[in-house]
Chain A
Amino acid sequence: MTKWLLILFTVVASSSGDVLCAKGMSRGGELTNFRPTGVIRAIIRQRLVILGWLCYASSFFALLGLLSVAQLSVAVPATALGFVLDTIAARILLRERVPWQRWIGVMCVAAGVVLTVRSGPTRPLPAGSTSTTAAQTANASGTRRR
């Protein structure tokens, strides 16, 4: 039960983070100044992005909790679900017009991620490398913040 709650929380929190960051960044308009200071200034001005980072951070800690009660092979397919959830959220919440090629593509990617991580390398992947999400959260949690 704890396991399923943690999976749900990890996936929902990381997708919420993605949606908030995407919404926040698109609100500020297309970036044209790509000096690191310019990018950072554009980012910290957006409250939604900061909120998104809080979501990434909670997702990261939930993932750590999940890894303490479940095998990586259980945890990672769950985060692959995040790809699909992101696309659904992009369609509904961000009103992106998702073409059918993109739906098929995302499903292929999610299936591929499950296959890739399940069959694993000879040494276990660190939590951060198992998904974009986890890596993002690592940043958010202030290891630097990613």
Chain B
Amino acid sequence: MQADAGSRGPISRGRKTAIFIFVAVVANSFGNLLLAEAMEHMPSLGHVALAHYVERLLGNPFLIPGVMLTSVYTLSQLSLFSWADLSFVVPCTASSYIVTTLLGEFILGEHVALARWMGVLLIFCGIVLVARTPTNTKGPEDIPR
């Protein structure tokens, strides 16, 4: 996915940032979902021999896709750090809480409490505020998004 982000051709920094944050958030949310699914099928670590645990872990069909998505997340976030402020990237990637909640309600069929929706709304407002600030405040030129 990252290869699409435009190593050639002009692309504005704001656009590039939006793409990378989107990729990071989606990969993080789905990666966590898969890893959670993987761990749910695992015995408790203290109760089985380590070798057996590792064998079960590696045989788990959710593990590799989960790990791959989390890797995509890591690479996108580190790429973002190369041009965007830490204080910009960190709150924006909190959108994964929103995605996780939506996944829970609409895909996993969990009942999401009202307080949780309020939390999601707060996170959303916070991200909107942060997203309106310049991506990079250290560089010679700030390119507002």
Contacts and interface: CB of A to CB of B under 8 A. Distances in A.
Main secondary structure of the interface of B (DSSP, over half): helix
Given A135-B32, A144-B67, A112 B83 contact: no
Contact of B82 (A42, A87, A101): A42
Contacts, number: 222
A128 B129 contact: no
A132 B119 contact: no
Contacts of B120: 112, 116
Interface size class of B (residues with CB under 8 A): 35 or more
Main secondary structure of the interface of A (DSSP, over half): helix
A22 interface: yes
B97 interface: yes
8 contacts: A42-B82, A89-B86, A109-B130, A111-B119, A112-B123, A116-B120, A129-B29, A139-B71
Interface of B: 2-7, 28-29, 31-33, 35-36, 39, 63, 67-68, 70-71, 73-75, 77-79, 81-83, 85-91, 93-94, 96-97, 100-101, 104, 108, 110-116, 118-130, 132-134, 137-138
